[in-house]
Amino acid sequence: MVERTVLDGARVVLPTGVVEHGRVTVEGTRVVADAAEETPTWDLTGHWIVPGFVDMHVHGGGGASFSSGDPEEALTAVRAHRAHGTTTMVASTVTGDLDDLARQAAVLAELTQQGDLAGVHFEGPFISPHRCGAHQPELLRDPDPADVRKLVDAAHGTARMMTLAPELPGGLESVRMLADLGVVAAVGHTDSTYEATLDAIEAGATVATHLFNAMPTLLHRAPGPIAALLEDERVTVELINDGTHLHPAVLELAFARAGADRVAFVTDAMGAAGMSDGMYALGPMRVEVKDAVARIADGPTAGSIAGSTLTLDTAFRRAVTVDRLPVEDAVAALSANPARLLGVADRVGSLEPGKDADLVVLDGAFELVGVMRKGEWLVRPEVR
């Protein structure tokens, strides 16, 4: 017999808006339209129910990294983020030797095929040495289409996105090839001009990797990639809403210009997400986390911000309490928009009959108290 559960009385965020004293009915692994009268009911009055979060840019968490090449370590990172409401995630790699990246991709592809991940995102090595951030400079290379194809093929059909600098030799050709292969081409870690970024968008680029970070600033005579990426309706812009990467006024600017349907909150989290301060690894680099901010510990890029320690429940809470975004806009940025971009919106990203029963329960202060994935409680609310 298929188990049925009714979550009742909460504010429920649906694609049509917020429903006061709403109801979500789960049957097995799916959301359904209704349930029999004898179905057990959870009274969630005073709470919020939102769709499970979708993170399309995350490198690790829980002390573990997706770049390790170890499937058990990757699963540790998956579990760490699920406990914070991210029920769907794409595993991001970090710049490394091509053969090493190919091996990592093969491991992550297997986890994707098992349903633990939603795909692979290659961040580097095809990025600008002038905007490399926490990527190891000596391992960077131009985006030769043959090398780009090698990594895509290594992911065995699970490559979802690749971040590159389109101004580099081979950049536009690689963007076109990625678009033809059904892989999202993302502009990031780039020293591109406004005009070159427009060319990349015309070639098929549809994402701005952590907009504002690791790219030229917006200047009145040289608007650079930021203006091009914000103004084009074909582009979804990633934002890291941790209070470190972006000032609230900049986040407000991005929402005002792009609109709530073109923003995706991401963590860009490394292994320290959900952990205490200390020393961690990010690919081949050592990272020191102090006061929850991750920075490269040594070498030519020492002091550079090295991803984040963010989890998406924190990004959500900050969005609605600090940035004062409407809850519906925050939900779109955390769930619906990335799900649509990744091509999985038929299954996740919103609470609708027939979709996976992936949801997050928040209390009145927007603190996470429950996580359900495919009908199974990963974090069980202490209410009935």
123 assigned to a ligand binding site: yes
21 assigned to a ligand binding site: no
146 assigned to a ligand binding site: no
Cα-based angle 270, 246, 350 (whole degrees, multiple of 5): 70
- d(CA 265, CA 50) in angstroms, rounded, equals 15
80 assigned to a ligand binding site: no
Instruction: Supply the DSSP symbol for 295.
Output: E
210 assigned to a ligand binding site: yes
213 assigned to a ligand binding site: yes
Calculate Rg over the CA atoms of the chain.
20
Among 235, 236, 247, residue whose Cα is nearest residue 318: 247
Active site residue 43: no
337 assigned to a ligand binding site: no
Cα-based angle 335, 343, 54 (whole degrees, multiple of 5): 25
Among 197, 101, 111, 192, residue whose Cα is nearest residue 152: 101
221 assigned to a ligand binding site: yes
Q: In this structure, what token pair is assigned to residue 36?
A: 């029999």
189 assigned to a ligand binding site: yes
In sequence order, the β-bridge partners of residue 236 are 207
From 55, 232, 268, 323, the catalytic residue: 268
Helix (H) or strand (E) holding 339: helix 337-342
27 assigned to a ligand binding site: no
Please enumerate, by residue number, every residue annotated as part of a binding site for substrate: 134, 213-214, 221, 245, 305-307
Please enumerate, by residue number, every residue annotated as part of a binding site for Zn(2+): 123, 189, 210
Please enumerate, by residue number, every residue annotated as part of a binding site: 123, 134, 189, 210, 213-214, 221, 245, 305-307
**Catalytic positions, written as ranges:** 268
